[in-house]
Structures are given as structure tokens and as C-alpha cells.
Amino acid sequence: PENITVQELSNRMAVRVADIIKFMMRQGQMMKQSDELDADTAELIATEFGHTVKRVAESDVEEGLAGDIVDSDENLEPRPPVVTIMGHVDHGKTSLLDALRQTDVVSGEAGGITQHIGAYQVRVASGQRVTFLDTPGHAAFSAMRARGAQVTDIVVLVVAADDGVMPQTVEAIQHAKASGVPIIVAINKMDKQGANPDKVLSELTQHEVIVEQFGGDVQVVKVSALKKEGLEELVEQILLQAEVLNLRANPDRPAEAVVIESKLDKGRGTVATVLVQMGTLKRGDIVVVGAQIGRIRAITNERGQQLQNAGPSEPVEIMGLEGVPEPGNVLNVVENENRAREVADYRARAKKQRTTGIKSTGTSLESMMAK
Ligand code: GTP
Ligand code: MG
């Protein structure tokens, strides 16, 4: 992966391709502009053309970020499942989320929700917790997946009993399958005239979602978000599935989180909803998020409560980022501001290079141009 093409090297050194090819010919090697050079050869050429080579590997700059710390088994603790509700337009995703939110045993009668933060946690009677993501449509989910951000452990696929499998249902199935995430089917609107759950099940079969009664392993729960029926069973199925997945994380390490949504708030600056994936995020932490840096000034949960920290699977709203990150960006806690800037600058450069059309082959010769 440390290779660079002749063309790319020529771009970076502002030297003609022909001159590089000529030089290589003198070394006894015939090359064309699309050929790849390994890092040693590229360095040799660059030195020959008067450049000082400083190899900056992604692994150097990004080294030591949370992903590099390998957790040993005894550091891992159970974490709540992260569940994304998906399905076709109007099949009742939002209604179901709202209904599930009201099953929270802690928040009390009124629901206790003071603000919408795009993600929330429900505590069930057993003391277990489930994190629900209110993904703003499939586009964001795809964007996250494209960036390799695996945010969800389980997909709850909502299908309206009176409407059946529709295009976005199929899309959601494909997302879940591509991510390797198990599906739980929630057949919604069971209260409606014309509800036909059997039709839904056979339609699902055509898309290779095989439910238990047809010999598969996909669980189905019939619900009515409107009448608040079947919700406990749905939560139960989610917890069962979570148990099978054996979800664990080390809370005792610098946090890594993923951005769910973010915006610029007039009074408060950048406000981002993040889902902590490992470690514990603390107030005062210095972070790098994509090409942005920041210091965590406030951590707020969906009830509007100020927290000192947030652990694995906790969705929280944070303040203190200097710029607005994109959904799917990964947030890492780093030791100090210099380190944050180093990583952010590197990422900004890498991004600029990508957008100016210089194809990155994952090369480690980023700053070869330093004269
Ligand atoms: P989008 O976000 O637009 O994709 O829709 P959604 O999937 O979030 O659906 P939403 O929860 O907004 O519900 C769509 C409509 O279906 C609303 O009018 C709801 O009141 C209605 N609805 C949702 N769940 C039920 C249900 O269980 N029974 C009945 N009868 N209506 C429901
Ligand atoms: Mg909705």
C-alpha cells in the first residue's frame, strides 16, 4: 500500500513524467506513467531530483488513536445494543421511536424528553438499556457506511402491515445485509383495517429475509406504534439478539465516538450528537473529529441533563468543537492540542489532495514535496 504511480510522483515533484521515465531507463528499468513505484524507488527518484523525502505514513500520523489500542478480554464490559429503526416512508419509524421512548422506566409519565438529539437511550425494567438511533433517512446511513462507520448493532425493519414491502424497505434490507447487521422485523400498524402480516412475511421472503415461521432465523414482532402494542416484546427481542451478539467494549480508555448529526447553533456554537463506541468521553477532553478539533465543553443527554462523561453506546450531545463535522466522522480523544492539530491538519491535507484530483493510492509519501 506504500506505492505511488509515476504520474503521481511527477505531480508531487513538479517534474515531467518523461524525465522520471528517462531516469528510470538509465537505471535499467522501463516504466510508463501509470506504473507503480514502491516507496524505496520513489524515494530514490525524489532524492535524485533534489527533493528531501519525509515519509509520512497515515499510520504514523494516526497512530495511537483509539483504534490502535487493543483491548484485552478482561477490559471488556457489556454495553447496550445500538438499534437503528429503518423502513419505508410513512411506515411508522418515528411513531415507533416515540412509542419506544415512552417505555423508558426512568423518564416517567411525561416521557421526560426535553429535546430531540437524534439518538436516545431507553432503560427497561430489568435495568438494561437500549440505544436507539433516529437516523435522518437512509442517505445519512449510507454516508456512514461508506465511511466505514459501523454504528448500529441491530436494524429494526419497520413494515406497515397494510402496505407491505416497498422500495425503501428493500433498500433498508440491503443496507443491513451489506453491513452484516441482524434484522428484527417489526410489522407495524397492526391496528389498521386491511392489516395483512402474512403477506408482509411472504414478501420479505422474496428478499431473503426469512422469518422463523418459514424456517429462517429472523425474529418478527407485530406492533402498533399508535396503540402502543407489542412494544415490550420488541424490546425483549432486541435484548435477546443483543445477548447473542455479546456486545462488549472497554470503558476505561480514551474515547472513540462517531458523529450522528451536527449543526451550528447561533448561541452555542457547534453542537454534535455523537455515539460513544469505546472508552469514556469526558468533559475537558481534547478531541479530533475528521479535520476538526475541539475541547469538550459540555456533554448533554436526551433529557437535557449535563453529564461529566459518557461511556460505550451512550448517545450524547457535545459542545466545544471548532467546526462542524460530518455524520459518520469519527471522534478521537487525544493527549493534547498539538496532537489534535497534527492529525486534523494531516486529514485536511489528505482531503484537499483527494478533491483536487490527485489520486491517493494510500501512499505514504504525502509530504514528498518538502524541498
Ligand atoms: P417518514 O419519516 O416520513 O419516512 O415516516 P415514518 O416512517 O417516520 O412514519 P410516521 O411515524 O411519521 O408515521 C406515518 C403515519 O402513519 C402517521 O400518520 C402515523 O400516525 C401513522 N402511524 C404510525 N404508526 C401507526 C400505527 O401503528 N397504526 C396506525 N393506524 N397508524 C400509524
Ligand atoms: Mg419519520
Reported ipTM: the value is 0.98
Tens-level pLDDT at each residue, the chain (371 residues): 467 888 888 887 778 888 888 888 888 888 888 888 888 888 888 888 877 666 655 556 666 665 556 677 788 899 999 998 888 989 998 889 888 887 665 554 344 444 455 688 888 878 899 999 866 554 556 666 555 557 889 999 999 999 999 998 998 898 888 888 999 999 999 999 999 999 999 999 999 999 988 899 999 999 999 999 999 999 999 999 999 999 999 999 999 998 888 899 999 899 999 999 999 999 999 999 988 999 999 999 888 889 999 999 999 999 999 999 988 888 999 999 988 988 888 888 777 766 654 443 433 333 333 32
Catalytic site includes residue 153? no
- In terms of C-beta distances under 8 Å and separation of at least 24 residues, what long-range contacts does 68-76 make, across chains too? 69/253, 69/254, 71/249, 71/250, 71/253, 71/278, 75/250, 75/252, 75/253, 76/248, 76/249, 76/250
Q: What sign for the dihedral angle of Cα 168, 100, 184, 275?
A: positive
The x, y and z cell numbers of residue 286, run together, are: 481534547
Q: Is 163 left (phi over 0), alpha (psi -120 to 50) or beta?
A: alpha
What is the reported pLDDT for 321?
96
Q: Looking at the whole model, is its pTM more than 0.95?
A: no
- Are the beta carbons of 101 and 113 closer than 8 angstroms? yes
- The Å distance, Cα 46 to ligand 1 centre, comes to 62
How far, in Å, CA of 293 to CA of 209, rounded?
A: 42
**Which residues, including other chains, have CB under 8 Å from residue 45's CB and lie 6 or more apart?**
9, 20, 23, 24, 37
Residues touching ligand 1 (Cβ under 6 Å) are 87, 89-95, 188-189, 191-192, 224-226
Active-site residue among 47, 52, 94, 114? 94
Find where cell 457489556 sits. Answer: 78
What is the reported pLDDT for 369?
34
What DSSP string describes 280-302?
Answer: BEETT-EEEETTEEEEEEEEE-T
- The Å distance, Cα 204 to ligand 2 centre, comes to 21
- The Å distance, Cα 156 to ligand 2 centre, comes to 14
